[in-house]
């Protein structure tokens, strides 16, 4: 699925205006890192793509040939992973992953099959019956990822998903995530303020500055032309 944004800005009720990178595109199966300092509008952009915020008049979000600007969050089929896991702590790994699928009213055998599939993909098989409260930070982030990809979203939005983890674990999960996104050809946007992380994970890095994409290229191009 190809994602396109046009003219997007967001004015919050208090008057704060977040300018968003006009003309950002993400191609099918591509992993794009959005790199930029805190406050530059990265989270706002993801929330607009997901349908959790409405852009200002004139802004449009396109998924392939569909203008999804007016579609509510539950009809966009977007997956999201955040720094804070937002999991249900007193439910099992399996129940957390299946929750969204139940909301979609998929038949039980289909839910079981999907849960099994993503447990494998995210190396969580051994933990499927544990409660979230009994897991480490890294394991929780794997569950959050599994939950986000279980509905086979059109695009996966990752907002600083590794920031709460310690450095070593962060690198391990980053590498696992890079492999998984490629293997399953997941179209994804990875938001971070960490340059090394952006470079390590993405096919293409878009550098945000003052509300626009100031530079965009493959990690190799950006290393050559910093
Ligand atoms: P980033 O994710 O890059 O740190 P954000 O998208 O969170 O940036 O924020 C972009 C700008 O919008 C900032 O100036 C921020 O303070 C402002 N902002 C974000 N959310 C709100 C809100 N709910 N109300 C008012 N201003 C907001
Ligand atoms: P906030 O407190 O930031 O306003 P929301 O009520 O919008 O949070 O959502 C709670 C959490 O669940 C957030 O992390 C949000 O992005 C996420 N979320 C909301 N709707 C969905 C959805 N349909 N699929 C996945 N995550 C969602």
pLDDT tens column, 16-41: 888 776 668 899 999 999 999 888 88
CA 41, CA 9: separation in Å to the nearest integer? 9
pLDDT of 8 strictly over 90: no
Q: What percent of the chain clears pLDDT 90, i.e. is strictly above it?
A: 71
- Residue whose CA is at the smallest distance from ligand 2 atom 21: 73
Question: Rounded mean pLDDT of 78-91?
Answer: 90
- For ligand 2, is residue 82 a contact (CB within 6 Å)? yes
pLDDT at 9 over 90: no
| Average pLDDT for the chain | 91
Atom of ligand 1 nearest to the CA of 38: 4
- ipTM of the complex as predicted: 0.68
Q: How many angstroms separate the alpha carbon of residue 226 from the centre of ligand 2? A: 35
For residue 104, the model assigns a pLDDT of 87
Residue 84 has pLDDT above 90, yes or no: no
Counting every residue written for the chain, the total comes to 226
pLDDT tens per residue across span 150-203:
999 999 999 999 998 999 999 999 999 999 999 999 999 999 999 999 999 999
Of the candidates 63, 86, 84, which has an alpha carbon nearest to the alpha carbon of residue 75?
63
Q: Which one has a higher pLDDT value, 173 or 7?
A: 173
Q: What is the pLDDT of residues 101-145, one digit of tens each?
A: 998 899 999 999 999 999 999 999 899 999 999 999 999 999 999
């Amino acid at each position: 699925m190809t994602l396109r944004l046009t003219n997007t800005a967001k004015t919050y009720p208090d008057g704060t205006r977040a300018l968003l990178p006009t003309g950002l595109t993400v191609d099918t199966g591509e992993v794009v890192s959005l790199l930029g300092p805190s406050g530059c509008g990265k989270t706002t952009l993801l929330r607009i793509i997901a349908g959790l915020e409405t852009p200002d008049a004139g802004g449009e979000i396109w998924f392939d040939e569909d203008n999804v600007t007016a579609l509510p969050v539950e009809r966009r089929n977007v997956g999201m992973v955040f720094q804070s896991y937002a999991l249900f702590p007193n439910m099992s790994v399996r129940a957390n992953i299946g929750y969204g699928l139940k909301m979609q009213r998929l038949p039980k055998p289909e839910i079981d099959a999907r849960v099994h599939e993503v447990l494998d993909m995210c190396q969580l098989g051994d933990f499927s019956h544990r409660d979230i409260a009994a897991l480490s930070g890294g394991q929780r982030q794997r569950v959050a990822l599994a939950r986000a990809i279980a509905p086979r979203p059109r695009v996966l939005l990752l907002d600083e998903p590794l920031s709460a983890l310690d450095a070593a674990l962060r690198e391990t999960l980053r590498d696992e995530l890079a492999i998984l996104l490629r293997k399953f050809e997941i179209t994804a946007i990875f938001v971070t303020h960490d340059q090394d992380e952006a470079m390590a994970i993405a096919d293409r890095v878009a550098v945000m500055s003052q509300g626009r994409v100031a530079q965009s290229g493959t990690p190799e191009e950006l290393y050559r032309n910093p």
